[in-house]
Structure formats: structure tokens, C-alpha cells
Structure 1
Amino acid sequence: MKVTIDIDCTPEEARTFLGLPDVKPMQEHMMQELQDRMSASVRAMSPEEMMKTWLPASMAGLEQMQQFFTRMASGKG
């Protein structure tokens, strides 16, 4: 015997029925706090500092890739 039950309800109704807490206000508060901190951090950095912080790793990777292709093209790979 197989029994199937379909329940049509919203996520809020299901959460209330199961007794689960509503964490949406906490999530909104934490996201706003994160956004405020990130904005303050970006405002405190000069464009030069941002470039030095964000680009060195990617630039090193690009240089390594260029060296790899150069070695492969020259047959020293």
C-alpha cells in the first residue's frame, strides 16, 4: 500500500506549522552589517591600495601562464 499526501502551503506557513524560528530579520541585519563593513573598508582604501591588494595574485598567475606558453612555444617545455 502506498499513500501520497500533497500539502500546498507557503514556506512561512510550513515554518510556523513545524515550530521553526523565523531567521529572516537576523539574516537581513547581518547582511546589512556585512555591507556596511565592506563599504567602510573600501572607502578607507585608496585605488592604489586596492590594486596592490587584489591584483598581485592574479598578475603573478598571468605571468606564470605567459612563461609556460613561452617555454612550450620555444620547445623547452
Structure 2
Amino acid sequence: MQINVTFDMTPEELRRVMGLPDVQEFQQELFAKMMEKMNSGEEGYDPMSLYQPLLNGGVNAMSEFQRMMFAMMSGKSDGKGQS
């Protein structure tokens, strides 16, 4: 038996369904501060230093999410939280 399920939703709707936080305002504030520092020519300013923690966490979070989804679809348990 094969069952296909299709969801037609926007990224915003998917974010809400998955219970993910809305970080758009945070990103806009971060970008505004970064642009302010870049425009003022602050000495020693490194824009990548702002994004480095976000990039590391984002990549790890996405790979963890993909692993979790694959485990759920294949019916396998990841072994976490079980004794």
C-alpha cells in the first residue's frame, strides 16, 4: 500500500504548524545594527563574528531536524530518551 500526502502551505504556515519561533524581527534588528556599524566605519568590526554563532547552530539544528524526520519516516527510533 502506498499513501501520498501533500501539504499546500506557505513557509509562514509551516513555521506555525511546526511550532518554530518567528525570528524575522530579530533578523531585521541584527541586520540594522550590522549596517549601522558598517556605515559608521567602526574600527575592528567584523560582520562574520556576528553571524558565526548563528551559522554553527543553524547548520547543526538543520541536520538534527533532517535526521529526526528521516527516523520518523522510516519508523526507526533514534534511541534518545528511551531506557
TM-score (norm 1): 0.52
Match of 1:18 in 2: 18
- What SS is found at the alignment partner of 1:29? helix
Percent identical among aligned pairs is: 33
Q: State how 1:39-54 maps to structure 2 within 5 Å.
A: 39-41=39-41
Report the Cα distance in structure 2 between the residues aligned to 1:2 and 1:33, rounded to whole angstroms: 51
Largest Rg, 1 or 2: 1
Structure 2 match to 1:47: none
For residue 28 of structure 1, report the CA deviation from its aligned partner.
0.4
Aligned counterparts of 1:40 and 1:2: Cα–Cα separation in 2: 59
Unaligned runs of 5+ in 1: 45-77
> How many equivalent pairs are there?
43
Secondary structure in structure 1 of the residue aligned to 2:15: helix
Superposition misfits of 4+ residues, deviation over 4 angstroms: none
User: Aligned AA for 1:16?
Assistant: R
What do the CA deviations read for 1:9-54 (whole angstroms, capped 9, x no partner)?
A: 0111111111000000000000000000000007x8xxxxxxxxxx
Which residue is equivalent to 1:9?
Answer: 9
- 2:66 corresponds to: none
